[in-house]
Chain A
Amino acid sequence: MAVNMDELMDLVGDIIEVDPSKIDLRRDRDDVPGWDSLAHLRLITAFEQQYGVRLSMEQIVEIRTVEQLSRTVNGA
């Protein structure tokens, strides 16, 4: 299953509360306002539910960008 990037941007935008069109795929989450550690966990939980995957603790910590997040599904 491939990740539809528009759909993923909508999900990320919904959780970190920004306009999805303004999200930079490669921007480190430390530099994205609203993407704090609690939002990160909420994002991972919602992402796992939506795409039916389960990430390891290390993956969760290491994901720093939307692009990396999408690859956890595409790369599988």
Chain B
Amino acid sequence: MTTQMSYAGMMEALHTGSAALDYRRTGRLLREMEAQAQVRIALMGNVTLDLVTPFLRVEAARVGQMAAFHVSPFGQYMQDLHSDAFQAFDPSVSALILSAEAMRPDAFERFHQLSVEDRQKLRDDMLAEIEGWIDLALARSSATVLIANFPMPQSALGVADLSSDYGEHEFFLDLNLALMRTVRARPRAMMLDLAEAVARVGTRQAFDRRMHFLAGLGWTDALMREFAALFGHALVGALGAARKCLVLDLDNSLWGGVVGEDGPHGIRVGRGDMVSEAYRAFQLRVRALKERGVILALCSKNNVQDVEEVFRLRADMPLQWSDMAATAISWAPKYQGLEAIAAQLNIGLDALVFMDDNAAEIAAVRHYCPDVHAVLLPADPSDFVTLLDDLPWFEKSRLTAEDRAKSQHYALAAKRSALCASCDPMDYLRDLEMRAVIRDAGPADLLRVHQLFNKTNQFNLMTRRPSIGEVEAMMTGDGWHLMLAELRDRFGDMGIVALCGLRRDGAVLRIEHFLMSCRAMGRGLEHALMNHVKRRFLKAQGCDLLEGRYLPTAKNGPVRGFFADQGFAASDGDGGGDYQLARSAVGFKDCDWIKLEA
């Protein structure tokens, strides 16, 4: 077998989530590729983490990230945060994985002889140490920090432990709960659910005592695999790399049977028989994705009247027509439907996940739209929910108010388009009755601002992707101004949709970031934001020169002419380049259809 073939096979296995994936070979191929690392992962703890890295490398690749690793010397998780090696590595993610027994060997050897007070002290003491590490790690790098929790050990007291006052079970439940709350209080920290990985594998299959004594890590391959998979999920959340939209097929995907043959009451979904219940459970799970800010769409080969009739007559289905932000129902090939959906929602194909029960359709989508993550549904609908849960693509580190309202935003966008089609563009803008707030970003905006930096592709002049730590630095750093714009119209509140990051250097003010969500494009909000910058800094605060830069990417063509349009002069050619606006040349763009509020 040539390297070429095995590489293609590996990518195929990674993409399809094949269970036949050979971790050892895949890990080595990835390592040998020596591709530019997209994510730098620092691993720290008091167990032999070198054994885990090959698994993490594979799972990082599965979520599209080539990973480089820095593994701290055994047990030196505190000291290493101060090391030059750690600083030079400059991680994007740092993970702390601790064995409780190795952390406090004396206490755990005589756990059952300790008084309840001493056990509570032990808990507080361990928590304080971990909290100290988290805060130091947050201060020493801009990485997101991931903290593994503790699997429940088998108690030496047997079943009596469960009825003991602050026994081992209660101790670890309490420790994990307190740890979760500690981590939750820090926006740049996330839990790694090691206890869940152990539960999924099963305690008896998860640990190998021989390896514990021989190597300082008693994890079986099965546990390392499961843990690495959860790590991949956390990575998507930590990096803000989630996809935006789930597109679903209908027949034998969202319901059993074929609507064109079985009719709206013949398809199987809802209360009653087991198959209908299974499809109903899947619909409920899909609907729950909306709470995570995932938008939903339909792509199906059917007569559109048949499908509309199902949604009209089957109000008992968990998913309703109004849940769908976009639909492509026709007899055209599915990949064309997916392209239409992406265009309709103004997002890239790489923001889509597509699920279908038809292998030929999935193969065609993978061929024509390789950026779409296409998932083949298995034969039995009772397996659909687990398959959906195992997809890492919809993971968020935590949910923002914008996430919860996301599908509503897109539904409103559809209503706005309907209005747009019926009148002249200027009347349309006025008719929206837009109101905007432009203000400095504050700590409460951190997550949304970070999300916007990482998700905005089209209206993004520089397309820089700062980490959460770097965003924090912009909010508090000397010479930095990070401004945001919130927009609402008569259809609803869109929340924070535009950002402008400025850095002042004497009399020169440099625009380091300027971006706006695709949902707000075509409204003129960019004029309002730029007018505000000109007014505040060139007029009021005495800057002499405003500098901007356009860095072209594959996606930001729509803003190629932005700086010229705003009255800036190009200092070189018309491609990517630097632009300047002197105080004497300042002018303002008309956008009186947006009312500014304080």
Contact = CB atoms under 8 A, between A and B. Distances in A.
A57 B210 contact: yes
Given A38-B50, A41-B215, A60 B210 contact: yes
A42 B210 contact: no
A45 B28 CA distance: 17
Contacts of B25: 14
B201 to A, nearest CB: 15
A46 B24 CA distance: 10
A49 B221 CA distance: 10
A15 interface: yes
A37 B188 CA distance: 36
Given A42-B24, A46-B24, A56-B210, 5 more contacts: A14-B25, A41-B214, A57-B213, A57-B214, A60-B214
* Chain A at the B interface: SS class: helix
* Chain B at the A interface: SS class: helix
Contacts, number: 26
B50 A15 contact: no
Contact of A61 (B48, B51, B211, B214): B214
Contacts of A30: none
A41 B51 CA distance: 9
**Max chain B CB contacts within 10 Å: which of A15, A41, A49?**
A41
Contacts of B221: 45, 49
A57 B214 CA distance: 7
Contacts of A41: 51, 211, 214-215
24 contacts: A14-B24, A14-B25, A15-B24, A17-B28, A37-B215, A38-B48, A38-B50, A38-B51, A38-B215, A41-B51, A41-B211, A41-B214, A41-B215, A42-B24, A42-B51, A45-B211, A45-B221, A49-B221, A56-B210, A57-B210, A57-B213, A57-B214, A60-B214, A61-B214
Interface of B: 24-25, 28, 48, 50-51, 210-211, 213-215, 221
Nearest to B31: A17
Contacts of B48: 38
B2 to A, nearest CB: 16
Nearest to A54: B210
Cβ-closest 5 pairs across A and B: A57-B210, A41-B215, A38-B50, A57-B214, A45-B221
